[in-house]
Amino acid sequence: MRAAHTAVAVAGLLAFAPAQACGVCNEDKVAATYDHAVVRRANLQGRVMVFCEVRGALDSRRLKAAASRISGIDVASVRTSANPATVSFALDGRRQSPQTAVNALQAMGPRGTELVIMQVQGNPAATSR
């Protein structure tokens, strides 16, 4: 009986404990650069959408300029958000894989900036390498 009372007391305390924020979830980060028209166009063209978290300095102009030099990235599809720091783009997966494109974009971006793929939307079977 005593164990049951203790369990009820602990459960009661936990019910009123303040919620711990975990930061912005991946869905919110994806939503920050989600553009329905771009996603629709990418789907119609057989491309995938790549959504990345940006860790470090976000330089939108530099990322867009770099994207224009990377095979398979549709530069017109590049979207960035400062808060949360994210970037997205449409990619022709037959030309290169999402990870290869992200690695190239990161290499051409600001020093110390890391791009981490959060989500790839579209037909992953259409991607190469």
CATH number of the domain enclosing 36: 3.30.70.100
Residue 26: the pLDDT is 83
76: in domain:
yes
17: in domain:
no
- Domain membership of residue 120 as a residue range: 24-126
81: in domain:
yes
10-residue block means of pLDDT along the chain (129 residues)? 54 48 74 95 96 94 95 97 96 96 94 94 63
CA nearest neighbour of 84 among 50, 58, 104: 58
Residue 5: the pLDDT is 53
Which DSSP string corresponds to 18-62? Answer: PPPP--S-HHHHHHHH--HHHHHHHHHTT-EEEEEEEES---HHH
Which amino acid, residue 73? Answer: I
What radius of gyration do the chain's Cα atoms show? 20
4: in domain:
no
